[in-house]
Amino acid sequence: MATGDNAVQAADAPRRRRYRVHHLAQAKEQGSKITMLTAYDAVTAAVFDAAGIDVLLVGDSIGNTMHGHTTTLPVTVDDMIPAARAVAGAARYALVVVDLPFGSYEAGPEQALATAVRFMKETGAAAVKLEGGRSVAPQIRAITDAGIPVVGHLGFTPQSEHALGGHRVQGRGEDAAEALCADALAVQEAGAVAVVLEMTTVEVAARATEILQIPTIGIGAGPATDGQVLVWTDMAGMTEWTPRFARRFAELGTALREAAEDYAAEVRGGTFPDAVHSFER
Ligand code: KIV
C-alpha cells in the first residue's frame, strides 16, 4: 500500500502546512494546545497526520507497545531507525520526533550527538527526544549546537524506572517539585525546544509550565501543560489495561478482534471470497 496516497489523507485541509519546531514556541505564545501522539509505523502515522496531530513521537515505548517488552530498556537504535523512517515517510504535516533509546546517549555528549546525527541522516525525523534533566544538559547542548532540535523528558522517565522504584508520580513534596523545576530550567538552558512531563503532580506541571519559556507537553501531568501526548495504543483502546491518565477515545482492540472473527467465520463458511472479490477470465 502506498501510504502517501492513503485514502485517509484525502480529508486533509489543503491549507495545512508542515508543523515545525518554531510552531511549538508559537503555540505556547498564543496559548493554543500542542497535540502529540506516538506512532511506530507508516499506517498509523498517516492516520494521525491526516487527523491533524501536530507532533508524532516515535517513542521508545515501541518496546512495550509493539515488541512485547515490559520496559523500554531493551530498545535499541536499530529498533528505532526503521520505525522513525516509516513514520517520517508517512507524515506529510506533523513534526516527527524520535526517542534516543536507553544506552544511546548516557555516556556523554559525543555519544548523544553521534546517535542524534544517525537518526537525522537515516530517518527523516525533525527532532530527537531524550530523558533526564541537569545530568544530560551537556548532551542536549551538544545536539542542539549541531543544529538538531531536542525535546526533553522529565518527571517519570521510563528508562530510569528501576532507579525511580517503578511507575510512581514524580514531583510530590516541595523538594521534589523544586528539583523537577531546576531540571526543567536546565533542559531549557541547554537549548531544548520543548519538554515532556510524564506522571507529575498537576501542581508541579503547572509550575514548570509557568516558569519555562519553552512549551511543556504532559502525559499524566494534568491539564495545565502547553500540550498533551498519549501512547496511541492507550488512547485507542488497543489493550485490556490502560494507565489511569490515558482516556480510551476508542475501542479499536475490540473492533479489530471482531473484524478478525468475522473474517475467519466467512472463510470457514465459504462466503469469503465471493464473486465481488474474485477475478474471472
Ligand atoms: O516513548 C514514549 O512513548 C514516550 C511518551 C510516554 C512521552 O516517551
What is the mean predicted confidence (pLDDT) over 249-265? Answer: 98
Ligand 1, residue 72: give the atom nearest the CA. 1
- Residue 273's CB is within 10 A of a number of other CB atoms, namely 11
Measure 60 CA to ligand 1 centroid, in angstroms: 6
Cβ neighbourhood burial of 75 (10 Å; 0-12, 13-18, 19+): buried
Predicted local confidence at residue 11, as pLDDT: 56
Ligand 1, residue 196: give the atom nearest the CA. 7
- Residue 166's CB is within 10 A of a number of other CB atoms, namely 7
User: What is the band of 2 on the pLDDT scale with cuts at 50, 70, 90?
Assistant: very low
Q: How far apart are CA 10 and CA 44, in angstroms?
A: 15
pLDDT in tens, 156-206: 999 999 999 999 999 999 999 999 999 999 999 999 999 999 999 999 999
* CA 13 to the chain's CA centroid: 23
User: What is the band of 6 on the pLDDT scale with cuts at 50, 70, 90?
Assistant: very low
Predicted local confidence at residue 1, as pLDDT: 39
Please check the confidence at residue 3 and state whether its pLDDT lies above 70: no
Q: How far apart are CA 88 and CA 97, in angstroms?
A: 9
Q: List the grid coordinates of 97.
A: 520526533
pLDDT in tens, 194-240: 999 999 999 999 999 999 999 999 999 999 999 999 999 999 999 99
Q: Provide the whole-model pTM.
A: 0.94
Ligand 1, residue 131: give the atom nearest the CA. 8
pLDDT in tens, 89-127: 999 999 999 999 999 999 999 999 999 999 999 999 999
Predicted local confidence at residue 256, as pLDDT: 98
Q: How far apart are CA 153 and CA 92, in angstroms?
A: 25
Please list every protein residue whose CB sits less than 6 Å from any atom of ligand 1. 38, 57, 59-61, 99, 153, 196, 198, 219, 229, 231
Catalytic choice (29, 178, 198, 258): 198
Predicted local confidence at residue 205, as pLDDT: 98
User: What is the band of 4 on the pLDDT scale with cuts at 50, 70, 90?
Assistant: very low
pLDDT in tens, 75-91: 999 999 999 999 999 99
Q: How far apart are CA 276 and CA 256, in angstroms?
A: 23
* CA 109 to the chain's CA centroid: 23
